[in-house]
Chain A
Amino acid sequence: MSVFDGLPVWIAVIVAICLVAGAAITFVGTVGLARFPTFYQRIHAPTLGTSFGAFFVIVGSMVFFTALEARPVIHEVLILVFVLITTPVTLMLLARAALYRDRAEGNDVGADMPAAENRSARSDVGDTDQTGL
């Protein structure tokens, strides 16, 4: 444990709070993944981990290594940027795949909108190859 001994206590407290907060948020996110009853509800759960869960753990890591090496260590921010950019893309692809599969099986997902402004959800089954969004 010699690595930690030179650190000031207030830095250790900041790092500890960040780590535990990030890990707890990620954990609650996967609790949602395990608990929610439908797929479209479950897809919201991992975004907790990818937004603030990852943010807190990475900030904790940055603060820790900056204090440890006595110079700014900010390369962890790359992980945060990659995670922030890639997660929406994968979740969107996955949601569209799920929607496509559900509709191919005849489950009319997305047509039961509350107070729907526009009931055009059925008509876009065939044209999923439009903008790649």
Chain B
Amino acid sequence: MSATILVIAILVSQVLLGGAMCLAGWRLLKGPRAQDRVLALDSLYLSGMLLLLTFGIGSGQTIYFEAALVIGLLSFVATAALAKFLMRGEVIE
């Protein structure tokens, strides 16, 4: 019983998060401007991180936590650097 509930819920949430990644990817490709693409990349990172957490629940292992943490930190660094680049044309002044 509980296995059925969990399997269905994990499947539904993975489909939703996958759809979220597709929408973010569409915005990433469409733009129109660089800041739209960076914003789309940021939410692509976020959806991917949450997707990894659902994979972790699906497999019953906590290893996925580390991957999600690393993705979360990477998204911060990547978006901050890209935003800085958009503003000044260089990352480190």
Contact = CB atoms under 8 A, between A and B. Distances in A.
Q: Does a CB–CB distance below 8 Å link A and B in the complex?
A: yes
Interface of chain A, main secondary structure: helix
A34 to B, nearest CB: 5
Contacts of B76: 82, 86, 89-90
Given A15-B57, A54-B50, A27 B16 contact: yes
Contacts of A12: 1-3, 5-6, 9
Interface residues of A, number: 60
Contacts of A26: 16-17, 20, 46-47, 50
A33 B76 CA distance: 18
B28 to A, nearest CB: 10
Given A27-B20, A97-B84, A1 B3 contact: yes
B52 to A, nearest CB: 10
A31 interface: yes
Contact of A34 (B13, B27, B79, B87): B27
B86 A57 contact: no
Contacts, number: 190
Interface of B: 1-3, 5-10, 12-14, 16-17, 19-21, 23-24, 26-27, 33-36, 38-40, 42-43, 46-47, 49-50, 53-54, 56-57, 59-60, 62, 65, 68-69, 72-73, 75-76, 79-80, 82-84, 86-87
The 10 closest A-B pairs by CB, nearest first: A16-B9, A12-B2, A23-B13, A3-B60, A93-B83, A4-B3, A23-B16, A86-B76, A97-B87, A97-B86
Interface of A: 1, 3-5, 7-9, 11-13, 15-17, 19-20, 22-24, 26-27, 29-31, 33-34, 39, 42-43, 45-46, 49-50, 53-54, 57-58, 60-61, 64-65, 68, 73, 75-76, 78-79, 82-83, 86, 89-91, 93-94, 96-98, 100-101, 128
